[in-house]
Amino acid sequence: MLKFVKYSLETIDGVAVYPIISLLICFSFFVGLFVWVFTYKKEAIKEMSELPIKD
């Protein structure tokens, strides 16, 4: 089964670009998430953390 998949992928021109694109998308998503988390306002985080115990 793997031989058929490997052969099919080898015959497609430019197939090596797809793993690179997916890696870049994944990497940029997590870098963006990292930046968003560390630039989020501390007051908003404190307010959200107190929501379950209010009322």
**What gap in Å lies between CA 8 and CA 27, rounded to an integer?**
27
At 21 the pLDDT is: 95
Confidence of residue 7 (pLDDT cuts 50, 70, 90): confident
Report yes or no on 7 lying in a domain: no
Count how many domains the chain has. 1
Confidence of residue 55 (pLDDT cuts 50, 70, 90): low
Which residues span the domain enclosing 43? Answer: 23-55
Where is pLDDT greater, at 53 or 28?
Answer: 28
Decide: 15 and 9 in contact? Cβ < 8 Å.
Answer: yes
Q: Residues 10-46: pLDDT tens digits?
A: 888 888 888 899 999 999 999 999 999 999 999 988 8
Report yes or no on 17 lying in a domain: no
**What gap in Å lies between CA 35 and CA 29, rounded to an integer?**
10
